[in-house]
Amino acid sequence: MTLLLEQLLNGLQFGVMLFLLAAGLTLIFGIMGVINLAHGSLYMIGAYAAAIAAERTGSFLVAVPAGLAAAGLAGMAMEYLVIRRLYARDHLDQVLATFALILFFNQTVTLLFGRQPLFVSIPPALNGSIEILPELAYPVYRLAIIAVGLAVAVGLYLLINRTRIGMLVRAGATHRDMVRALGVDVRLLYTAVFGLGALLAGLAGLMAGPILAVQVGMGEQILIMTFVVVVIGGVGSIRGAFFGALIVGVVDTLLRAFLPGLLRQLTTGPEADALGAGLSSMGIYLLMAVVLLVRPKGLFIANA
Amino acid sequence: MRDTVTAQTGFAPPSAKPLLAAAAVIAALVLLPFVAQAAGSPATVALATRVLIYGIAAASLNLALGYGGLVSFGHAAFFGIGGYTVGILYQHYVADELILGLFTGSNQLLVTLPAAVVVSGLLASVIGALSLRTSGVQFIMITLAFAQMIFYLFASLTAYGAEDGLIVRRRNELFGLDTRNDTVFYFICLGVAAAFFALLSRIVRSRFGLVLVGLRQSERRMAAIGIAPYRYKLAAFVISGIGTGLAGALMANYLRFVSPDMLHWTKSGELMIMVILGGVGTLFGPLLGAAALVILETVLAAWTEHWQIILGPLLLAVVLFTRGGLQALLARLGGKP
Q: Judge whether residue B14 has pLDDT over 50.
A: no
Between B45 and B337, residue with greater pLDDT: B45
Note whether A104 contacts B313, CB cutoff 8 Å: yes
Q: Give yes or no for residue B336 having a pLDDT over 60.
A: no
CB < 8 Å & 24+ apart, contacts of B155-161 = B155/A278, B155/A281, B155/B260, B155/B263, B156/A274, B156/A275, B156/A276, B156/A277, B156/A278, B156/A279, B157/A274, B157/A275, B157/A278, B158/A270, B158/A271, B158/A274, B158/A275, B159/A271, B160/B84, B160/B87, B160/B88, B160/B91, B161/B87, B161/B259
- B149 interfaces chain A, CB cutoff of 8 Å: yes
The reply to whether B284 falls in a domain is: yes
Q: Is residue A125 domain-resident?
A: no
**Chain A / chain B CB contacts < 8 angstroms:** 133
CA nearest to B323 within chain A: A93
- Mean pLDDT of the A249-269 span: 82
The partner residue sitting opposite B315, judged by closest CB among A96, A235, A292, is: A96
Are B122 and B82 contacting, i.e. CB atoms less than 8 angstroms apart?
no
**Total domains, chain B:** 1
- First-to-last alpha carbon distance for chain A, in angstroms, is 39
A103:B309 CB<8 A: yes
The residue among A159, A273, A193 whose CA lies nearest residue A33 is A193
Residue that wins the pLDDT comparison between A131 and A110: A110
Distance CA(A204)–CA(A68), nearest Å, equals 9
What range does the domain containing A13 cover?
Answer: 2-116+141-294
- Which H or E run includes B104? strand B103-104
The answer to the question of residue B7 being in a domain is no
Q: What is the tally of structural domains in chain A?
A: 1
| Residue B2 resides in a domain | no
Residue A302 lies in a domain: no
| Opening angle at CA B283, ends B330 and B236, nearest 5 | 150
Instruction: Find the residue in B nearest to A111 (Cα).
Output: B306
Is a pLDDT exceeding 90 seen at residue A274? no
In this structure, chain A runs to a length of: 304
- Judge whether A154 lies within some domain: yes
CA distance A198 to A202: 6
Distances from the Cα of B208 to the Cαs of B192, B211, B231, in angstroms?
Answer: 23, 5, 11
ipTM score for this prediction: 0.74
Query: Beta-strand (E) ranges in A121-165?
Result: 129-133, 136-139
Q: Judge whether A235 is closer than 8 Å to chain B, CB to CB.
A: yes
* Ramachandran area for residue A121 (φ above 0: left; ψ -120 to 50: alpha; else beta): beta
A248-252, B64-68, B102-106, B195-199 — which is least confidently predicted?
B102-106
Q: DSSP secondary structure string, B15-51? A: THHHHHHHHHHHHHHHHHHHHHHHTT-THHHHHHHHH
More confident residue, A302 or A176: A176
A125 pLDDT higher than 80: no
Query: Which of B316, B322, B323, B326 is the best mutation test for A, with the most CBs of A within 10 A?
Result: B316
Q: How far apart are CA B174 and CA A273, in angstroms?
A: 39
Domain of residue A186, CATH code: 1.10.3470
Instruction: From B253, B283, B284, select the one nearest B50 (Cα to Cα).
Output: B253
| Rounded Cα distance, B74 and B134, in Å | 14
CATH of the domain at B107: 1.10.3470
Q: How far is B249 from chain A (nearest CA, A)?
A: 24
> Is B4 domain-assigned?
no
Q: Which of residues 249-308 of B touch A (CB under 8 A)?
A: 265-266, 269, 272-273, 276-277, 280, 306-308
Q: Is the pLDDT of residue B7 over 60?
A: no
B316 to chain A: which residues are within 8 Å by CB? 82, 97, 100-101, 104
Q: Domain containing B185: what range?
A: 15-333
- Assign B15 a pLDDT band (cuts: 50, 70, 90): low
- Cβ(A193)–Cβ(A29) below 8 Å: no
The predicted structure's pLDDT at residue B2: 40
Which residues of A are less than 8 Å from B145 in CB distance? 228, 285-286, 288-289, 292
User: What is the pLDDT at residue B37?
Assistant: 75
**B120 pLDDT higher than 60:** yes
**pLDDT given at position B4:** 39
Q: What is the mean pLDDT of chain A?
A: 85
pLDDT of residue A270: 64
pLDDT in tens, A133-181: 777 788 888 888 999 999 999 998 888 888 888 888 888 777 777 888 8
Half-sphere exposure (Cβ direction) of B237: Cα atoms closer than 13 Å = 29
**pLDDT-above-90 percentage for chain B:** 17
Domain annotation covers residue B193: yes
Cα B316–chain centre separation: 22
The pLDDT assigned to B244 comes to 95
**Is B220 domain-assigned?**
yes
Please tell me which residue of chain B has the smallest CA distance to A298.
Answer: B138
pLDDT tens profile A2-17: 788 888 988 999 999 9
Closest residue in A to B318 (Cα) is A97
User: Is B8 a domain residue?
Assistant: no
Mean pLDDT of all residues in B170-192? 82
Smallest Cβ–Cβ distance between B133 and the set A111, A275, A293 belongs to: A293
Where is B167: in which H helix or E strand? strand B166-167
Mutate to test the interface with B, among A90, A94, A259, A288 (most CBs of B within 10 A): A288
Asked if B129 is an interface residue toward chain A (Cβ–Cβ < 8 A), one would say no
